[in-house]
Structure 1
Amino acid sequence: MTAARSAARGLLLAAVLLYALNLRAPITALAPVVDDVRADLGLSAAGVGLLTGIPVLCFAVATPFMAVLLGRLGTGRVVAASLVTVLAGTLLRSADGFGTALVGTVLIGVAITAGNVAVPVVIGRDFPGHVPRVTGLYTAALNGGSVLTTTLTAPLAEVVGWRWALASWGLLAVVALVVWQRAYPFSRAEPVPVVTGTKAPDVWRRPVTWFLAVAFAGQAFGYYAVSAWLPSVLHDNLGLERAASGGAAALFQLFGMVGGIAVPIALGRRAPVAAVAAAIAVGWAALPIGLLLAPQWWPVWCTFAGVAQGGNFAVIFTVIASSAGSQAAARRMSATVQSLGYGCAALGPSVLGAVHASSGGWTAPLLVVLGAVLTMGAATGLGLRSMRREG
């Protein structure tokens, strides 16, 4: 019986991690071939940035709808539907012109939003007593999917073209769907209660909520902007080939896996949150500063920033959990922080593309990233101070 339970738990974990591979990979797959897409579809830099920014906007606006859908259909069915939608959006994005690509991109964004909402519910429900560890593995898998697409999309595009290269990542959704259906069959219904109300929640009147929202906005803006344009920065400034620049940028995603696992471990061992947050801010800032002052050391800067971006989620949501006061308040605070943060993050790729087009180089865009990271660090520090004052 114990062996059977262990096997069932292992299948559940495999389903969650394979699903997580699909929750960032379709977005970051575009970055290594962004110039090919721009040339083929006749887009401006800001226009092609929309194809990366729109999914993040969906994170902000579709979250309430997904919460209701989870409550009515259960996580198993919603996740299965989201994987089918990821596959459809991935194929549609590569099928025709800009309009079709835009529709496919919206489908991808809505589908991934379902995962953003569903996976924390699944982890809390199905892995009691192991939430920090499984959350760390989940964060690592998110970055793992980004590593795969950032590293391999450009080499694939050289062989089969950018359309087939992007479409091929739909195979990840197919594999995840097969495993998910074994772990969570359609016949299994597990409705999720959704807390609703007409009055503004108390967390909206707490300064810590808004400081964390600003911090998350800076983090997410920087992450999606860098994910979209780092291969182009390395290609233009250092002369790396397209395939090589995509692989180099994968360091940023790869070490996000390290941060996603290491930071929860550090916090679990009572490392001071303020010290961890300060170290993360320094590591994040190393990327834009380093690429401006010593671009030849890009592996170092990508490593530091990768660990920082992977670990910063743990810091922000640890503060939410420790300061909310109740599970209901934590859900409301988390929803507020994510909605506002992702709303700002959706602008990242387009803003960086527009600044690059207007300035003709990458100095100004990197300064924009630095500004976002410094804002993140300052807001996190103010949030922690506000939390201590309330305590």
Structure 2
Amino acid sequence: MKIKEVTNYLEELAPLQYAEDFDNVGLLIGNYNTEVSGILVTLDTLEETVEEAIAKKCNLIVSFHPIIFGGMKKFNGNSYVERVVLKAIKNNIAIYATHTALDNSKNGVSAKMCKVLGLTNTKILIPKKGILKKLTTFAPKENAEELRKVLFNAGAGNIGNYNQCSFNVEGIGTFRGNEGSNPVVGEKGKLEANEETQVSVIFEAKNESAILNALQKCTFYEEIAYYLSATENTYQDIGMGMVGELPSAMEEKDFLLFLKQTMKTDCVRHSNFIRKKVKKVAVLGGSGSFAISNAKRAGADAYVSADFKYHEFFKAENRILLADIGHYESEQFTKNLLVDYLTKKFTNFAIILSEKSTNPIYYL
């Protein structure tokens, strides 16, 4: 099995197109055509992580956080990042990172937090923009149904809980082929007017190549006419954070104690109690202060995330209970999610959960 087979499967869960612009996801070190001897799954890739991969005969590390964020101009081992990269290359170990691609997946980091906390009726907290595109193309009227099937089978026309969605307009198309043409309809050099159906479909950007490849295989015309447009629509199934409900409402202090135990953290930093039971809970793995206002707009009684600064706790404004459980603690179950996901596909292959804690923060 080659690395490409593993990464293709990972990208069904967390397509790279889902990642934020600032991020660095995908295969950071290594070659897609390398045969895989074993996979080590970790939250972060440190020197000790590479050493663990060597000891366990794994030549592919699947990491949540990328070891390389920005450009690197030198590889002389002066920083921990450079040392990790050098050690990985020296020992022929590939490194793949999912990070915000998995953050934005509906079955990703926040979904795992919801599962651990037992939240139900979950939905995306901040649906992502720019994921949906629109394709408009044309076919002879009698071939319109065939065209729609081709597009639907390639992944177009899915909107929320609906599929096979399209918009169709009938009209007259005109064209004239030059001397180099070989028209399927009409004759070269002669102006043709043909009854056509214009078909428009919405699709996820990750499916663009498959959809265009399928479209180009259609034989209605010698030249397939189409145009693509980006949309600013949000997509309810993709985005940062989630919001859901506890099985039963809890007093604020009891909720924080439950949070501390369930999320296995030594410290929960929180805003002032608002004397309201906690039922509806918003979560977001990692640094989530940017979503405080979203959690309030969603009507959450509590918002669980990490890396809140001093002044950001004032944003609670006695409307919501903010709970900072720590960056590592909020994402710690992500590697279990990845191991479970990979194991379902590659049942007879070594997929190992890293035993190393990469949490750089300690509590006295």
Band of TM-score, shorter chain? under 0.3
Output the TM-score relative to the length of structure 1.
Answer: 0.22
Output the TM-score relative to the length of structure 2.
Answer: 0.23
Q: Work out which structure has the larger RCO, using CA pairs closer than 8 Å and 6 or more positions apart in sequence.
A: 1
